Amino acid sequence: MKLWQKDTSTNEKIDHFTVGNDRTYDLALAPYDCIASKAHAKMLGEIGMLTSKEVKDLTDALEGILKSTQKGDFVIEKEFEDMHSKIEFLLTQKLGDLGKKIHTARSRNDQVLVALQLYIKEELSQIKKEVVKLFDLLLKLAETHQKDLLPGYTHMQVAMPSSFGLWFSAYAESLVDDVAFLNTAFRLADQNPLGSAAGFGSSFPIDRELTSKELGFKTLKYNVVAAQMGRGKVEKASATAIGMLGGTLAKLAMDICMYMGQDFDFFHFPEELTTGSSIMPHKKNPDVFELIRGKCNLLQGLPQQLALLTSNLPSGYHREMQLAKAPLVEAFQEIKACLEMMHFSLSKIEVRKNITDDSKYDYLFSVDTLNEWVKQGIPFREAYQKMGKEIASGNYTPKRDLSHSHLGSIGNLQLDAIRDKMKSVGS
């Protein structure tokens, strides 16, 4: 069954090619199609296209279908093109001709748009909650380990003193930026497209403000052509937000993979979080973090993939827009899984103490000693040359007592300020 079906049948090969795996991904969107259809039915009642009894019968039936989608009982069989045709079939099966009235004053175009944007809003909200949860853990770890020094590197060379407090809180503050991108994507999705129909509005006297309020949209996409042009833009904005977050998680995962290696040995994880080798019994591999790194690196390519898909399309609806559905749905699932695993694993991290006491980290402290000379009146360039000579001659003796006091430094992490930044974007 197809909502656009006429008397002629479609070639089976054409049908398979055009529908593809859409039925599978529509299972994620089906609850939102039911929610939008309930709002649409109520609006049709308000403008006199349905009686109050018809509205109640339709919304009750839709509520039943909604519950089946939430329980996982909803199936889109091969004879149905998508969730829309299956839901309308179920309504017609239960209510007769009344079920066919649900499509009054709307098109499949704005039907899928509104379901997709409701879905995106919910997914972005869930991701944001998981990001804030990881943020809280990182700040807690930063507070706990703020005095535990850690070598800092530039060009993969030992550079200057860092700390676990600085490292953990760096990723926490980076997540604040990622939430800002999530918020932007959410705002774009938070505009009701329902009522744009096929992209040119309707001759029915529909009440778009009513459906916007009913569905919890902050505003609506007023221009009906602009509403259809939002297809692709909302997906790209969401993909960009996911990609930014993926970049943060991938970098954190890379640090973890490196720092837990035997050559660094900065921290450990319980054995059950690592995997072994088929021939090397001593191995404790960071497979979880390697997979997070790989998955999140792939997610960073999603905005480019969607940009290529939607490039140079004129206004109006085009069938290839359905191809954005699969990668976006999968991306939401992947980033949530990565966030969950990162939080679960980091909550069990075991930090090694006194790492920088090892003589191989002596040169970490050379800049601090040099700076002390400058404070005593030696010009910086002379102090730099003097330190270089001491290191070259083997006469350099590190002073490991540090005094970093400026905002955001080892001795002044500003964790409360970072926490306030997250509150400003995360609430």
Whether 2 has a pLDDT exceeding 80, the answer reads no
Q: Which residues pair with 275 in a beta bridge?
A: 285
CA–CA separation, 386 vs 368, rounded Å? 13
Q: Could you write out the DSSP letters of every residue in 331-359? A: HHHHHHHHHHHHHHHHTT-EEPS-GGGSG
Per-residue pLDDT, 79:
86
Q: What are the tens digits of pLDDT across the range 243-280?
A: 999 999 999 999 999 999 889 999 988 888 776 555 55
Amino acid at 128: K
The number of residues making up the chain comes to 427
| Residue 246 near residue 300 (C-beta atoms within 8 A) | yes
Q: Which helix (H) or strand (E) holds 305?
A: helix 302-310
Q: What are the tens digits of pLDDT across the range 12-53?
A: 666 565 555 778 889 999 999 999 999 999 999 999 999 999
| Residue 338 near residue 245 (C-beta atoms within 8 A) | no
pLDDT confidence tier of residue 152, bands split at 50, 70 and 90: very high
pLDDT confidence tier of residue 286, bands split at 50, 70 and 90: confident
Whether 4 has a pLDDT exceeding 50, the answer reads no
pLDDT confidence tier of residue 305, bands split at 50, 70 and 90: very high
Whether 92 has a pLDDT exceeding 80, the answer reads yes
Which is more confidently placed, 24 or 381? 381
Per-residue pLDDT, 17:
58
| Residue 125 near residue 335 (C-beta atoms within 8 A) | no
Q: What are the tens digits of pLDDT across the range 326-342?
A: 999 999 999 999 999 99
CA–CA separation, 352 vs 354, rounded Å? 7
pLDDT confidence tier of residue 150, bands split at 50, 70 and 90: very high
- Residue 368 phi, psi dihedral angles, 5° rounding: -65, -40
**Structural class in CATH, domain 12-103:** mainly alpha
Domain 108-204+223-357 has CATH 3.40.50.10420: no
Region 287-304 average pLDDT: 95
Q: Say if strands 267-268 and 350-351 run parallel, antiparallel, or are unpaired.
A: antiparallel
Per-residue pLDDT, 281:
54
Region 393-419 average pLDDT: 92
Specify the DSSP class assigned to residue 123: H
Going by C-beta distance under 8 Å and a sequence separation of 6 or more, which residues neighbour residue 93? 99
Where in the chain do CATH 1.10.275.10 domains reside?
12-103
Whether 358 has a pLDDT exceeding 60, the answer reads yes
What is the chain's mean pLDDT, rounded?
A: 91
Region 195-214 average pLDDT: 95
